[in-house]
Amino acid sequence: MYKPELYKTHTSITNHQELKDRVKADKLFYPKIHLAPEYGLLNDPNGLAFYNGEFQIFYQYHPNQPAHGMKNWFHVTTKDFITYTHRGIILFPEQDYENYGIFSGNAKLEGEYLRLNYTANYRNPDKDYQREPKQCYALMDKNYQIVKKGIISEFLDQKYTEHFRDPYVTADDATVIGAQLLNGIGALSIIENNHERTIEMSNELSSAYMLECPNYIEIDNHPLLILSPQGINNDKYLNINSVVWMETMLRDKIDANPHLLDYGFDLYAPQVFKHDERVLMLSWLGHADTIYPNEQEYGWSQTMSLMRELTFKDGHLYQQPIAEYQALRQEVKKLACTEAISRVYEVDCKISNNGVIKIGDVDHYIEIKLDNGILTLDRSRMNYSVNANYGYVRSINLEVATTSLQIFVDNSTLEIYINDGEYVMSSRIFLNNLGIVQLTNTEGKYYELDPITIINQEVDNV
Ligand code: FRU
């Protein structure tokens, strides 16, 4: 929703210390192994790449309040996904045509530079602040200095509405943009060799009103399209917005079968990139139009997922937490019911038919259950509920009597990797206690996890 009072630039606000103090007071929910904003709000990952000898991560960032508002790109680098350097806000509104924020996009190596593709969220003051987004790019050098290179495409108002954003430049230099056709249907716009064309969905995605954050990449010769469609809500698409993957080339009409990327409650706007032969993906563990409990009070809002590695096996996309996280493991312990556990841990187990895992305490918990081949995650009994209108239960029909689960619990996040990453369920969880309070037909091990390290090199731009 358009709230002009939230659209202040990051330099015009001075309450950051107050927000930082509120973040410090949060002893329960601030994650320890996931990226989260130092204060304020983050959403989509942007500009992922390996450049200058380190992984480059950017995200949508609004530092002025733990709420959506004027967006910037915040810059984080890491060599190993264990120690991270916060480098501060790197892309922020400066030009008139960027007046309502710097929206999402990806990155691509261009000579000695990293090219950062983004959408300038322009609102036209002469037209009652009507949104007229523009696709732009900037070049970043190895000293992390930025030169903005301007607009690559104006608002294509003969074809698309104001929903036209999130450029993803592919390995073949096609720019894929999320769009809404004038008839209100979601589509993709492709700019290739100075020629623009539209890609429409002739599958179940044709009922989406917008396809946000497109990604197109090849994994072992499998063409993979990942989209974040908005506005489909039925028995399959249960969250406010969803994420799908399809094995398909970029044809003018796409009829490939969309698969849900994640079967949990909270995952959106993933971005994929390649480094050496690995395809890696980072996502936002959240949704628009959702206020997560306590975050307003604590001065921060929203987290990223863990970084995942993507592979194809038997025509199916697998997602696994990157192996680097194994360095966070403390000593291995046999899985048992225990209240004496930190709030940050990994469980590796097998669950069999009628199996149950409960995490929390006796009164408030989340429940993972395998029943007649159906794996269910139930978050109806948390201390604080989230998005109750969208239901408390998510399930997958695995059609198996037993399966492996790799579960990451991190203060207010839960990621369940099922059968070596064949499926994933990701959710925010809000529990005062995170003990393992029930284990039925479940065997395995667990590790408490060390926190990631954040080095704060924020330049004085906040
Ligand atoms: C997806 C999204 C993008 C947009 C950005 C703004 O979550 O709405 O479409 O670029 O967030 O923060």
CA–CA distance, 303 with 430 (Å, rounded to integer): 13
Two tokens at 71?
Answer: 């967006």
Mutate to test the pocket of ligand 1, among 2, 62, 73, 212 (most ligand atoms within 8 A of CB): 212
Q: What is the pLDDT of residue 460?
A: 47
354 CA from centroid of ligand 1 (Å)? 40
Return the best residue to mutate from 41, 60, 241 for the ligand 1 pocket (most ligand atoms within 8 A of CB). 60
> pLDDT value at position 462?
43
pLDDT of the chain, 462 residues: tens digit per residue = 556 677 889 888 878 999 999 999 999 999 999 999 999 999 999 999 999 999 999 999 999 999 999 999 999 999 999 999 999 999 999 999 999 999 999 999 999 999 999 999 999 999 999 999 999 999 999 999 999 999 997 657 689 999 999 999 999 999 999 999 999 999 999 999 989 999 999 999 999 999 999 999 999 999 999 999 999 999 999 999 999 999 999 999 999 999 999 999 999 999 999 999 999 999 999 999 998 998 889 999 999 999 999 999 999 999 999 999 999 999 999 999 999 999 999 999 999 999 999 999 999 999 999 999 999 999 999 999 999 999 999 999 999 999 999 999 999 999 999 999 999 999 999 999 999 999 999 999 999 999 999 999 865 444
With a Cβ cut-off of 6 Å, ligand 1 is lined by 43-44, 60, 71, 103-104, 119, 165-166, 212-213, 268-269, 288
Q: How far is CA 164 from the centre of its chain?
A: 19
Q: Residue 458 has what pLDDT?
A: 64
Instruction: Calculate the CA dihedral of residues 434, 435, 440, 446 and round it to 10 degrees.
Output: 90
State the closest ligand 1 atom to the C-alpha of 103, by its place in the atom list counted from 1: 10
d(CA 282, CA 116): 17
Task: Choose one of 1, 92, 117, 165 to mutate for the ligand 1 pocket test, by most ligand atoms within 8 angstroms of C-beta.
Answer: 165
Residue 288 CA: which ligand 1 atom is closest? 7
Going by their DSSP bridges, the two strands 300-301 and 40-51 should be labelled as parallel
Look at strands 134-140 and 113-120 and give their pairing: antiparallel
Pairs from 17-23 (Cβ < 8 Å, separation ≥ 24): 18/299, 19/63, 19/65, 19/66, 19/299, 19/300, 20/299, 21/299, 22/297, 22/298, 22/299, 22/300, 23/298, 23/299, 23/300
- pLDDT attached to residue 232: 96
The helix/strand/coil state of 450 is coil
How many angstroms separate the CA atoms of 98 and 106, rounded? 17
Distance between Cα 60 and ligand 1 center (Å): 8
Tracing tokens 């358009």 back to the chain, one arrives at: 2
CA–centroid distance, 288 to ligand 1, in Å, is 9
CA 427, CA 238: separation in Å to the nearest integer? 13
DSSP 13: -
Distance (Å) from CA 176 to ligand 1 centroid: 15
Token pair for residue 57?
């991560």
Contact (CB, 8 A) for 420 and 404: yes
The rounded Å distance from CA 446 to ligand 1 centre is: 36
CA-based radius of gyration for the chain: 21
- What token pair was written down for 149? 């290179």
Structure tokens at 370: 């395998």
Q: Which atom of ligand 1 is nearest to the CA of 268?
A: 7
298 sits in which H/E element: helix 295-298
Q: How far is Cα 354 from Cα 370, in angstroms, rounded to an integer?
A: 5
In angstroms, what CA-CA distances link 451 with 99, 148, 413, 425? 37, 36, 14, 22
Q: If you measure from the C-alpha of residue 188 to the centroid of ligand 1, how many angstroms do you get, rounded to a whole number?
A: 15
Give the pLDDT confidence score for residue 194 in this predicted structure: 87
pLDDT value at residue 459: 54
Measured from the CA of 104, which atom of ligand 1 is nearest?
Answer: 10
User: Which whole-number Å values give the CA distances from 322 to 142, 254, 420, in the listed order?
Assistant: 26, 31, 12
Q: Which residue among 3, 44, 59, 282 is best mutated to probe the pocket of ligand 1, counting the most ligand atoms within 8 A of its Cβ? A: 44
CA distances from 277 to 66, 251, 461 (A): 37, 25, 36
What pLDDT score does 294 carry?
86
- In our burial notation (b when 16+ CB lie closer than 10 A, e otherwise), range 167-186 reads bbbbeeeebbbbbbbeeebb
- Which spans in 373-414 are helix H? none
Compute the distance from residue 259 Cα to the ligand 1 centre, in Å. Answer: 21
H or E element at residue 22? helix 16-24
- Give me the sheet containing 54-62, strands edge to edge: 300-301, 40-51, 54-62, 72-78, 83-91, 453-456
CA distance 100 to 165: 13
Q: How far is the CA of 349 from the centre of ligand 1 (A)?
A: 36
Cα 104 to averaged position of ligand 1 atoms, centre (Å): 6
Nearest to 153 by CA among 76, 97, 108: 97
Closest atom, ligand 1, to C-alpha of 60: 12
pLDDT score for 296: 82
Q: Is 98 helix (H, G, I), strand (E, B) or coil?
A: helix
First to last CA, the chain: 25
Three-state secondary-structure class, residue 242: coil
If you ran DSSP here, which 8-state letter would residue 125 be given?
G
Residue ID of nearest Cα to ligand 1 atom 6: 103
| Main-chain dihedrals φ then ψ at residue 12, nearest 5 degrees | -90, 5
Looking at residue 323, the DSSP 8-state letter turns out to be G
Write down the residue that tokens 């001075």 correspond to: 14
